[in-house]
Amino acid sequence: MLPNKRPDDMQRITTPELANAFIDEQVKQIRAQVGDKKVLLALSGGVDSSVVAALLIKAIGKQLVCVHVNHGLMRKGESEQVIEVFGKELDANLIYIDATDRFLDLLKGVSAPETKRKIIGGEFIKVFDEEASKLKGISFLAQGTIYPDIIESDGVKAHHNVGGLPEEIQFELVEPVRLLYKDEVRVVGKALGLPVNMVDRQPFPGPGLGVRCLGAITRDRLHALRKADAILREEFDNCGLASKVWQYFIAVPDMKSVGVKDGKRYEGWPAIIRAVNTVDAMTATIEEIPYSVLNKITQRITSEVEGINRVLFDLTPKPVGTIEWE
Ligand code: XMP
């Protein structure tokens, strides 16, 4: 097991050479810790769990069992990328669970943000536990804990929380990136050959689009949100903003306004653009998006996304607004 404190003399991993040295060292340590036993990992597709998965695949191959739970609140293409990269390219032992209906049924009619979060977090652990109980011969649980998680909390991520597993299945932890900062995890991920868009992914809240489909989630509004969000990301990619802006997304509130389309009254939801820059997410400023880009996004969303009839740009810094709307 790695220590809880990062040694004062530990060099910051900034280059592929340093990343490769770290990878070689961790591969040895993981093999020594795990032997010929099996390891389970909840693979969300986020930066940390993806890098841990790639590291473990390199060290122990098929002894790693990855479980990807699709809660139906992922951004467009994200679950598909997990299957493509880990299931196909890296030939991992990957169990994919589409739990969309379970999550959306439980969330039906629930509008309070904290209740939505609790339902999503609780159900995630339940689905993962059910899968873990079915598997035989698992001895270890891998987690994408990184150093800020240890400094800022008790060291265990809520969504990968071993404390949430039933008593009869308690595992020893494998946490190969627990002493690394986020930027170092990204350098290691690139050295492991993971796709750049996976390694440089923006932070995505555990409850996913659930906190951006404001109020009580409905399938049609969630679908519209996912589509509008994909257009925003495409246009940010096209104009070079994707690599510059810290976090950007669409939120769709649970209200309609009157509009006009094809000469007829058209009631629809507004899509709200949020694009913020920050260092630590405690405060945030607004990116000044060129008007031409805003116009293009507005034109595309209102013509391509069924159910949306207005596009708004949120100019509120944090404070006073939080980054997410819920
Ligand atoms: P706020 O909205 O509090 O967000 O300004 C700060 C940062 O945290 C992310 N965030 C979450 N991440 N689970 C997460 O894993 C959550 O429930 C959650 N809520 C907010 C948010 O995306 C932003 O980067």
Question: What single string gives the DSSP state of each residue in 194-260?
Answer: --HHHHTPPP--TTGGGGTB-SS--HHHHHHHHHHHHHHHHHHHHHT-TTT-SEEEEEB-S--B--E
- Of 166, 199, 232, which residue sits at a domain end? 199
Ligand 1 centroid distance, CA of 254 (Å): 20
**Together in a domain, 107 and 254:** no
Ligand 1 center to residue 281 CA distance, Å? 8
Q: What residues make up the domain containing 157?
A: 16-199
CA of 130 to the centre of ligand 1 (A): 27
Statement to judge: residues 151 and 236 lie in one domain = no
Task: Kindly state whether residues 138 and 255 are assigned to the same domain.
Answer: no
Ligand 1 within 6 A of CB of 148: no
Which spans in the chain are helix H? 16-34, 47-60, 78-82, 100-107, 113-134, 147-152, 182-191, 196-199, 219-239, 291-304
Tell whether 55 and 177 lie within a shared domain.
yes
Nearest CA to ligand 1 atom 3: 322
- Does one domain contain both 191 and 221? no
Check residue 168 and give its pLDDT. 57
Domain end marker among 148, 172, 199: 199
Count of domains observed in the chain: 2
Is the minimum distance from the CB of 23 to ligand 1 under 6 angstroms? no
Residue 234 lies in a domain: yes
Contacts of 254 (CB under 8 A, 6+ apart): 111, 214, 215, 216, 221, 269
C-beta of 207 in contact with ligand 1 (< 6 A): yes
**Per-residue confidence (pLDDT) for residue 159, from 0 to 100:** 42
Same domain, 100 and 238: no
The predicted pLDDT at position 243 comes to 94
Claim to verify: residue 194 and residue 307 sit in the same structural domain = no
Q: What does pLDDT average to in each consecutive run of 10 residues of the chain (326 residues)?
A: 86 98 98 97 96 98 98 98 97 98 98 97 95 94 93 54 53 96 97 95 95 98 98 98 97 98 96 96 96 98 98 98 97
Locate the ligand 1 atom nearest the alpha carbon of residue 325 and give its number.
2
Residues 148 and 229 in one domain: no
Whole-number pLDDT of residue 45: 94
Q: How far apart are CA 140 and CA 164, in angstroms?
A: 15
- pLDDT value at position 151? 85
318 pocket-lining for ligand 1 (C-beta < 6 Å): yes
Of 199, 226, 241, the last residue of a domain is 199
CB of 104 sitting under 6 A from ligand 1: no
CATH of the domain at 261: 3.30.300.10
217, 195: one domain: no
